Each structure stands twice: as C-alpha cells, then as structure tokens.
Amino acid sequence: MKSHAKAVVIGGGVVGCSVLYHLAKAGWTDIMLIERSELTSGSSWHAAGGFHTLNGDPNVAKLQAYTVQLYREIEALSGQSCSLHLTGGVMMADTPERMDFLRLAHAKGRYLGMDTELITPSEAKAMFPLMDETNFVGAMWDPVEGHLDPSGTTHAYAKAARKLGAEIVLRNRVVELTQEVDGTWNVVTEQGTVKAEHVVNCGGLWAREIGRMVGVELPLLAMEHMYLLTEPMPEVEEFNKSTGREMIGVMDFKGEIYTRQERNGILLGTYEKACKPWSPVNTPWDFGHELLQPDIDRIAPSLEIGFKHFPGIEKAGIKQIINGPFTFALDGNPLVGPVQGLTNFWCACAVMAGFSQGGGVGLALSNWMVHGDPGFDVWGMDVARFGEWATLRYTNAKVRENYSRRFSIRFPNEELPAARPAQTTPLYDTMLANNAVMGDSWGLETPLWFAPKGTEPKDIVSFHRSNDFGPIGEEVRATREKVGVTEIANFAKYEVSGLGSEDFLNRLMTNRMPKTGRIVLTPMLNEFGRLIGDFTIAKAGEERFMIWSSSAAQKYHMRWFEKHLPKDGPGASQVRIHRFDQTLVGLSIAGPKSRDLLQKLVDVDVSTKAFRFMDFREMAVGGAPCMVNRITYTGDLGYEIWMAPAYQRLVYKAIKDAGEEFGLVDFGMRALLSMRLEKNFPTWFRELRPIYGPFEGAMDRFVKLEKNGFIGCEAAAREQAEGPKLRRVSFIVDAADADVMGDEPIWAKVGGKDYGTVEKPHGYGAPRFDADGKEVPGSRAAEGASAVRGIVDGDWRVVGWVTSGGYAHYIKKSMAQGYVPAALAADESAGLFEIEILGSRRRARINVEPPFDPSGEKMRT
C-alpha cells in the first residue's frame, strides 16, 4: 500500500467504486480506494439490482438517467458484464390522485428528455400479464428501467478505475482520521497510515462511523428492506416464449411494492409502513455478508394488496426472502459534497438507490473535487441541505417516515409530521393559539396560514386549491389594504465583521456594498457565473454588515463563505462570519398602515424622509432593542424587524396592541409567497439556482460588471455580451381550480420557428476545461444531455419550464414564473403560451411588469 495519495476513497461498495472511477476518468490517477473487507461488503451485494430514472427532484432524475447510460461504458472499459436487463417499467395508479401524480411526473419529463408515456391499465397488463388491471385507473410507462447484477456492476466500476491507474486496497479498515495543520489528512488504517489531500466517505452502512471520526454526525440511517423471490412460474416462461421479451418492472403505489422478473420467476419488494431501522446508533464493524432475519408479518399487509393486484404471483411458491439493510437520508436522496466546516472532506453516502444513482453521484463528486464545481444542479443531494437540527433521533424519525411513504404521494400543500416540532420560536404557542397551521421550514416551526376561529387548523391535502384558499385571500387583502404582521424567523441571518469585511463581500457579491445605514440586494455567483445565492445586505457600521438570505441555504452558503475568506492581505484572519440561526428572530409588518404602526412603537422619526426605502437602523421597537430594515418581500410599504428571541414576544405584543386601531391581521408564509408573486419577485432555490446566470434570472440591475473582480464577473460579462439564452418571466395563467406547483412544461405556439435550446440546463455532462483551467463556454449544458423529444404538437412546442407559482390573491389571478428562450421573454401576446397543469394545457400570458404596484411607488412612499 502506498503512503501518499491525492485522494483516498473509503469504502468499496457501488458508490465508492463509482467515485473512484470518475476521479480517475477526470484525470486524478494518484488515488486509492480502501475497503474494510472485499468489494461489495456493505449493502451493495444483496441489492435487488433494479434501476430507474424517475425521481421527485428532476435534477436527481437527470443524474439517474446518466447512471443508466453509463453502464455500457464501464462494461466496455472493464470487460466485466453488468448483466443489464433494460426491460422498461410501469407505475400503476389506483386512484385519480395517484393518476394526477403520474401526470405531473410525465409533464416534467417532457423537458427533461424523458420518454415516459401515460397508458391504460390494459396496456400495462399486456406487458405484465400477472396483474388484475381492474384495480387500477391508469399507468405511466418508462422505457429506461430495468435491473442488473449488483456485484458485477460494482466490479465493473472497480476494474475500469484500476485500468485508469487507481489503486484498490482490500481487507484494510480505516480506523482513524486526523488532519495536519497544512490540511493533509492522515488516513490511519489497519495496514498503516496514508497521507492524503482529500478524503471521501463512501462508507455506506458505516458512513456515520466515518463521519464521527471527523466529528460530524451525518443525518442517515439504515433500514431493513425485504424482497422475496418466487419459484419458477410457468406464466412467466410462457410470456417470455410467446413474446420473446422479458416481463417489465412494475411499481404499485397502493401496495407499496415493486416487482420484476428474476430468472423464470418474480422478485417482489416492499416499502412497508411498519418499517424497521437497523443499528440505529452504531453499525457493528463485524457485520459482513450475512442477511437479516426475514419478518413476513411486517410485510403481510403489503403482500395482501400485492396478491390482490397481481393474482398471478400469489399462486407461486416463495423460494427465498432476502432482508438486508441500506441507508437513507431524511428525504431519501443522497448526501454528496464537501462537508461544511472541514477542508477536503467529502461525502458520497446515504445513496439509497446505488444502481440508479451511483454513476451520477460519482460524476458530480469527481467534478466537484477536480474542478471545484459539481457541474450541474446538485442541491437535491447536497450534504449541506440539512442543518444541525438533523440529530440522530430526528434522523431516525424522519427516515422512518420517508421509508414508509416511499410510494405515497406528497401533495404540494402537505407538511409531514415526523420529528416535529423540533425548533420553535418564543411565539410558537401564541401562533397555535391564533389557530395557525404550522409548517416545517428547515427544521423550524413557521406559521403558514391562519385558520378561521372555530375551524380545525389543518390542511386538506390536494393538488387542487384547498381549504387554505379563502383564509389566505383574507390575509392578503387585509395586509394590502391595511396592515399585516408575520414571523420571519425562518430567514438565514449572518453578520460579517472585522477589517477587510467590505472587500470580502465585494469580492463575493455582484452588487456594490451599501453605505452605512443602507441596504442592497445582491446575487452571488460561482466562478462560472452561475447564481449560487441571493442576499439582502445592510451596512450596520464600519466593517460590519448584516446579511439575510434563504434559510435552507445556510450551510451551503457558510461553506462558500469559509472557502473564500481572505487568506492573505488586508482582512486575512480578521474577517469574521457569524451565523445567527435562531439566536436572531424576526417579525415583518407590511401594508399601507405599517408606517403608522411602526411610528407608534418607536421613539425616533420613521417618516418617509427620515427612514427611506432600503434604509437600515438599529432602534428600540416596543421597548426592545431591534434592527429594522425598510423593506418587505410583500412588495408593499413594510418593515423587517429583527430581535434576540428573548424580546420577540414583547415586540409581537406591542405590534398587536398598537395595530388594533389599524385593523392589523396575522399573515403566514403562504400569503407572503402569494404577494411576492404579483410583484414578480423570485425565490431562491426555485427561480434562482446554480443552473442559471444572473441575466437569465433577470437580476440585471443587481449586477455591477464595472465593479472589479467579483467572483464570476468574467463569466457574467460574457453572458451579458452574448445575451442570455433563457430568461425568467412571470405569467398570468388561465387556471381552473389548480395552480402550478413547479416544473410544469411551458408550451408556445411558435410554428416552425427555432428559439434555440429548450433543454433545462442541468448539464449533467461534465463541463470541459481548457488548458488554463477555464470552463469551455456551453460545454456544460450540451455534453451528454439528451435531446428533447416528443414535445412538438403541431405549431406548439415546449419552450420552457415553470419554477414556481400559485394564486395571487390580491389581483385574483393565477400566476407562474419560469424560464423561456430569451427571444420570447418580452412577448406579451395573448394566445402565445400554454402551461400544462395536471395534464391540461391552460392559456398563459407573460406579464413583463409586475401586476401589483408596477412602478414600486407603494413600497417607496
């Protein structure tokens, strides 16, 4: 075993081997994989080997598609067969709601280049005759599904990596990880120590233990999972003989089962409600290739439905039941990327579908390690997406919830209950007493809307408008016409201070930093000129800045801030970043009477001239020391008031008491999001994401290209010079009783005209770099991306996708935001666009100017 390596990958399951292969392919050959036992000694060896492309997150779906297409490549390079069976598969819907869900998934697939098709139950039966089709109302066919040999596939990655120069060390456990002052990792193993620049945790079932070696508790948990194999079935053999084809894969939401052909019989797996974690606290190091004891009682309810839906299977004898553990993060997607707070410590774990996702995970991580950027939008699997609140017990509750709901529909207005309440503000009980329906905002209980007195504060979950529609409308109207108050503790808040702070922020942000007492809005870009943040920044004093942003991005942004802290020159080791999290909470008051209300609460002049739009002041509000921003996301006259949690009840009570004479109402997050729609305001992670440039995102006025040297400046200048290909726009949609939810296709009647690329720029093809290490423009989106197919309908074409939307209650219209080719972005003609909502195409019209207060007069007065 060598004593030095550029990178050490810990773990030889399918994920570790894929990471090793992709690193070697990207040109890092001084790398090694260290495996405790033999390859596939964790969950990989007993996997059912199924693969598919569909995922709730379209970006992850795209990566899954990449994984499937990769298998031919590694087979060719390694000479090792993966035993690929590309059978295709169907998802069966037994209710109209599940069919709505499939329609949504199918619609998303339109611009992702996926060839899914909605079919009838009889058509599904023709491909899988063991089913009783009368149990179903419809189905979706996905041709890119199948199964493979898990062990062969893992070895194919490993052999391909070895061929490219990587080393694999077996039967050698990593027992300790320490780091030198210069950042070098000491990877202490049973066979000696390896010094490495980078360490990758691909420990699968032991990923938590490896995390603990560096002081990190990774939010993942192993669950027991069972599938059964039947004896050979004559019906299967007969089908193979008569059609010359293998039977397809089937997913049955109701039964929570998946099934496919295995040799001459059937494999049937369950995601049962009565699920069971395995080794909830520590994974034993001596766990090897043994299987867990099957528990047929646990899966009996799923089997009962399964046998009713697939009577052909019931008759077959059960040959074997496999029960094995594999890991999940809270939302079922992987944990990938650099761990915030550490240097060069990377994760690729909690990969619950290693044979659908392993390739994409390997590609993303290797891009990130070698080129400093994953190369596409990986937020859905970024290890930074969970906060400190995701403790061992929290994770346990959430993973069990996720597992038991694996085949359940998640409605757009559905809040999941497990592990809640976790974090609460001092106003939590007050909000409950006010009949608030609470939601989970990055682990924090946040009021979503207020149910009328005497009614149960509860969402009726639906894809259509629901019981919150009326009350949210009331909250919006009262706020727009008088004044409303809402909690905004769920924003991210930071303070950057110390010598060099202004230079540091100027280098990170596209906008100029404000003068003392003033506020700016500013995007943040990566080196490739893509949007990685959107901030409100106030200059609170000399070299002291207050910053607000998206709550969910706190670790993501901290990771970036820490990476770019000045290493030398002015500010080196002096710039300090403090993340407040819930040690700073807030309330926002908005509406035409909000100034009168604020004036009653403070002893300073807050008139238009004394306290202007985009001013920042520290002042006592209702007797409590606060920071106040004259700005609001409602787009109206309004203020954000920030205070230590100990003062929040005092300030809220003062607002409520003083607000009575103005007709003050409480409003929730949903009303806030409704109001931002009619102002065409974007949201982070929806409209603004790392796949868009600032000009594509219509953030032009916040990008000061003439300001020297901010990160991404060159690329942004290129985007402006060449003109953005895409553009964010707002639509008014002629919707019926359902509004857009995000990711719906946008159709345009463009005849034969070509408006350039309409591919959503996930760019899962790795970016190419020139000899100077600069990204080759355009290489990211194009390479490896599949062409958009099946999206032309006469003169109509899919030209874009929705990012978010909903009902704009004040203007009483349904609205959507999304991206379309730039050449279409200013075309407000009626009849040009349609947006597909739940399978039905609704007329939509671009609204270049925001429908509420287009001149911004109200918020400036």
Ligand X SMILES: Cc1cc2nc3c(=O)[nH]c(=O)nc-3n(C[C@H](O)[C@H](O)[C@H](O)COP(=O)(O)OP(=O)(O)OC[C@H]3O[C@@H](n4cnc5c(N)ncnc54)[C@H](O)[C@@H]3O)c2cc1C
Q: Measured from the CB atom, is 88 or 777 closer to ligand X?
A: 88
Of 61, 210, 476, 677, the one binding ligand X (CB under 6 A) is 210
Q: Measured from the CB atom, is 257 or 472 closer to ligand X?
A: 257
Q: Does 87 bind ligand X (CB under 6 A)?
A: no
Binding mask 218-237 for ligand X (x = CB under 6 A): -------x-x----------
For the record, the structure tokens of 623 come out as 């007797």
The residue with tokens 């399964």 is 306
Q: Measured from the CB atom, is 140 or 223 closer to ligand X?
A: 223
| Torsion angle in degrees (nearest 10) through CA of 155, 156, 159, 162 | -110
Of 30, 56, 115, 173, the one binding ligand X (CB under 6 A) is 173
Secondary structure (3-state) at 141: strand
CB of 262 to ligand X, least distance (A): 11
Give the range of 202-210, 233-241, 587-595, 756-764 binding ligand X by CB under 6 A: 202-210
Q: Measured from the CB atom, is 37 or 462 closer to ligand X?
A: 37
CB of 808 to ligand X, least distance (A): 42
As beta bridge partners, residue 746 has: 800, 835
Which among 711, 702, 330, 287 is positioned nearest to 529, based on CA atoms? 711
Q: Measured from the CB atom, is 41 or 396 closer to ligand X?
A: 41
CB of 499 to ligand X, least distance (A): 43
The residue with tokens 């990685």 is 532
Contacts of 170 (CB under 8 A, 6+ apart): 12, 35, 37, 38, 39
Q: Does 336 bind ligand X (CB under 6 A)?
A: no
Please give the span between the terminal C-alpha atoms of the chain, in angstroms, as a whole number.
Answer: 71
Of 26, 32, 49, 254, the one binding ligand X (CB under 6 A) is 49
The residue with tokens 């757009």 is 412
Of 7, 20, 41, 377, the one binding ligand X (CB under 6 A) is 41
3-class secondary structure for 334-353? Answer: CEEEECCCCCCEEEEECCCC
Q: What are the φ/ψ torsions at residue 517 (nearest 5 degrees)?
A: 85, 5
Of 111, 185, 253, 326, the one binding ligand X (CB under 6 A) is 326
CB atoms inside a 10 Å sphere around CB 117? 15
Q: Does 194 bind ligand X (CB under 6 A)?
A: no
Secondary structure (3-state) at 122: helix
CB of 359 to ligand X, least distance (A): 11
Give the range of 95-103, 354-362, 681-689, 824-832 binding ligand X by CB under 6 A: 354-362
Angle between helices 150-163 and 58-78 in degrees, nearest 10: 70
Q: Does 353 bind ligand X (CB under 6 A)?
A: yes
CA separation for the pair 154, 14 (Å, rounded):
5
Q: What are the φ/ψ torsions at residue 794 (nearest 5 degrees)?
A: 60, -125
Q: Is the torsion defined by CA of 326, 331, 332, 336 positive or negative?
A: negative
Give the range of 353-361, 497-505, 695-703, 853-861 binding ligand X by CB under 6 A: 353-361
Q: Measured from the CB atom, is 335 or 448 closer to ligand X?
A: 335
Give the range of 196-204, 336-344, 508-516, 851-859 binding ligand X by CB under 6 A: 196-204
CA separation for the pair 5, 190 (Å, rounded):
17
Binding mask 768-787 for ligand X (x = CB under 6 A): --------------------
Of 20, 32, 47, 538, the one binding ligand X (CB under 6 A) is 47
Q: What are the φ/ψ torsions at residue 670 (nearest 5 degrees)?
A: -65, -35
Of 70, 336, 352, 448, the one binding ligand X (CB under 6 A) is 352
Applying CB under 6 A, the site for ligand X has a residue count of 42
Q: Residues 587, 651: contact at Cβ < 8 Å? A: yes
Q: Measured from the CB atom, is 185 or 819 closer to ligand X?
A: 185
Length of the chain: 861
CB of 437 to ligand X, least distance (A): 36
CB of 247 to ligand X, least distance (A): 16
Query: How far from the centroid of its chain's Cα atoms is residue 591's Cα?
Result: 33
CA separation for the pair 262, 571 (Å, rounded):
63
Of 166, 174, 655, 816, the one binding ligand X (CB under 6 A) is 174
Q: Residue 241: is it exposed, middle or buried by C-beta count within 10 angstroms (0-12/13-18/19+)?
A: exposed
CA separation for the pair 207, 437 (Å, rounded):
37
CA separation for the pair 296, 224 (Å, rounded):
12
Of 58, 354, 712, 821, the one binding ligand X (CB under 6 A) is 354
Give the range of 21-29, 31-39, 72-80, 659-667 binding ligand X by CB under 6 A: 31-39
Of 22, 25, 36, 530, the one binding ligand X (CB under 6 A) is 36
Give the range of 317-325, 554-562, 698-706, 730-738 binding ligand X by CB under 6 A: 317-325
Of 153, 356, 435, 648, the one binding ligand X (CB under 6 A) is 356
Contacts of 304 (CB under 8 A, 6+ apart): none
Q: Does 206 bind ligand X (CB under 6 A)?
A: yes
Burial 511-542 (b: 16+ CB within 10 A, else e): bbbbeebebbbbbbbbbbbbbbbbbbbbbbee
Q: Measured from the CB atom, is 71 or 545 closer to ligand X?
A: 71
Q: Does 324 bind ligand X (CB under 6 A)?
A: yes
Of 102, 196, 205, 575, the one binding ligand X (CB under 6 A) is 205
Q: Does 153 bind ligand X (CB under 6 A)?
A: no
Secondary structure (3-state) at 98: helix
Q: Measured from the CB atom, is 16 or 767 closer to ligand X?
A: 16
Give the range of 41-49, 137-145, 485-493, 622-630 binding ligand X by CB under 6 A: 41-49
Q: Which of positions 592-621 make contact with ligand X (CB under 6 A)?
A: none
As beta bridge partners, residue 816 has: 731, 805
Q: Residues 798, 109: contact at Cβ < 8 Å? A: no
Q: Measured from the CB atom, is 36 or 595 closer to ligand X?
A: 36
Q: Does 788 bind ligand X (CB under 6 A)?
A: no
Q: Does 355 bind ligand X (CB under 6 A)?
A: yes
For the record, the structure tokens of 282 come out as 């520590």
Q: Which of positions 1-30 make contact with ligand X (CB under 6 A)?
A: 10-16
Q: Residues 648, 605: contact at Cβ < 8 Å? A: no
CA separation for the pair 705, 350 (Å, rounded):
41
Which among 392, 361, 123 is positioned nearest to 281, based on CA atoms? 392
CB of 34 to ligand X, least distance (A): 5
Give the range of 344-352, 650-658, 698-706, 840-848 binding ligand X by CB under 6 A: 344-352
Of 24, 31, 48, 166, the one binding ligand X (CB under 6 A) is 48
Q: Is the torsion defined by CA of 827, 830, 831, 834 positive or negative?
A: positive
CA separation for the pair 152, 190 (Å, rounded):
27
Binding mask 802-831 for ligand X (x = CB under 6 A): ------------------------------
Binding mask 506-545 for ligand X (x = CB under 6 A): ----------------------------------------
Contacts of 66 (CB under 8 A, 6+ apart): 359, 360, 363, 764, 784
Q: Which residues bind ligand X (CB under 6 A)?
A: 10-16, 34-37, 41-44, 46-51, 173-174, 202-206, 210, 225, 227, 322, 324-326, 349, 351-356
